[in-house]
Amino acid sequence: MHWYGNDAQCGEAKITVRSYCQTPDIDENAVVQMNRGCGEQELRIVQPGKKPVTLDLRKYEHDNDEMRIASSLRCVAAGTNRYLLVMFDNGGSCDTCEISAVLGLDGRWKSYGEKWLAVSRKERGAIEAAQRDWLQVPTQDINNMQRAEGE
C-alpha cells in the first residue's frame, strides 16, 4: 500500500486528494487507468490567507457495505460561492454504485448522495438551481496512479 496524489485547482484554492492504495494493476484495455484498491482517502484544501483544511473523504463510507472511493471532482459555482462536486464509485454498474457529494471550500460537507447536511435552505436552493450547469464544467479524474510526494 502506498500514498498516491492527485492535484487540482478551484479558483485560488489548491486541491489535493491523497489516497492510500494498493500498487496499481495496469489494465492494457482500459481507456482510463484507475487504481481502485484504496482504503483511505483525504482531501486537502489550501487557500491563500486561510488555514489549510483536510477532510476524510471516506467519512460517510465507513457505515456502508459498498466500498466507494472518490473517482473525480469538479470545481463548480452556485451563486457567488465555489464548491467541489466529488463523484464516488465502486467500479460497478448498479443504481447505488455511484453517488456524488458537494463540499464547500471551507471543508464543510453540503451533501452526500441524497442526504443534505449542514446547509441553509437558501444555500441549498442556490446549489440545486446551479446543478444543471455543472455538467459543462471540466472533470478532474482521481486516478491514484502517481505516488504522492515524499512517498
- Output the 3-class SS for 40-82: EEEEEEECCCCCCEEEECCCCCCCCCCCCEEEEEEEEEECCEE
Specify if 151 maps to a domain.
Answer: no
Place of cell 487557500: 47
Specify if 113 maps to a domain.
Answer: yes
Local structure of 120: helix, strand or coil: coil
AA identity, residue 39: G
The answer to which of 59-63, 96-100, 107-111 has the lowest mean pLDDT is 59-63
Specify if 85 maps to a domain.
Answer: yes
pLDDT tens sequence across 11-32: 999 999 999 988 877 777 777 7
Domain count, the chain: 1
Specify if 96 maps to a domain.
Answer: yes
pTM: 0.88
Give the residue among 39, 67, 35, 56 at the shortest CA–CA distance from 144.
35
Specify if 147 maps to a domain.
Answer: no
Specify if 9 maps to a domain.
Answer: yes
- Tell me the residue range of the domain where 49 lies: 2-141
State the pLDDT at residue 68: 83
Specify if 148 maps to a domain.
Answer: no
Give the residue among 6, 3, 8 at the shortest CA–CA distance from 84.
8
Specify if 100 maps to a domain.
Answer: yes
pLDDT tens sequence across 115-150: 999 899 999 999 999 999 998 999 999 988 888 875
Inter-CA distances, 56 with 34, 62, 70, 80, Å: 20, 11, 11, 26
Degrees (nearest 5) of the Cα angle 25, 30, 34? 50
